Amino acid sequence: MSRRYSDALAIQQGACNPSGIALSIADACKEIRSEPGHTGTDQITSDPAVRLMVHQLAHLCRANDHQVAGTAYCELTQLCRERA
């Protein structure tokens, strides 16, 4: 029984725990890979449940605001480079 679709709907209702969402995304990817006829990464990245979960995670991290994300991307990359 596929669980990722109900998880995606529950997450989209306002989940606010990034680690919980990330774990659900990982579980959904495992579920897809275990299905007969799995075709690879494109299947996972186009799956409606995965996309809905990623959307909520992006919303929480304010990564879906194109005006903020462009500037923030450079700043975040620089911070990570400094701390790596």
pLDDT interval class at 69 (50, 70, 90): low
pLDDT in tens, 3-53: 999 999 999 999 999 999 999 999 999 999 999 999 999 999 999 999 999
Q: Report d(CA 44, CA 41) in Å as an integer.
A: 5
Report which residue type is found at 17: N
Comparing C-alpha atoms, which of 27, 68, 19 is closest to residue 47? 27
pLDDT interval class at 63 (50, 70, 90): confident
Cα torsion 66, 67, 73, 79 to 10°: value is: -140
Rg (CA), the chain: 15
**Which pLDDT value is given to residue 67?**
62
| Residue range 54-79: mean pLDDT, rounded | 80
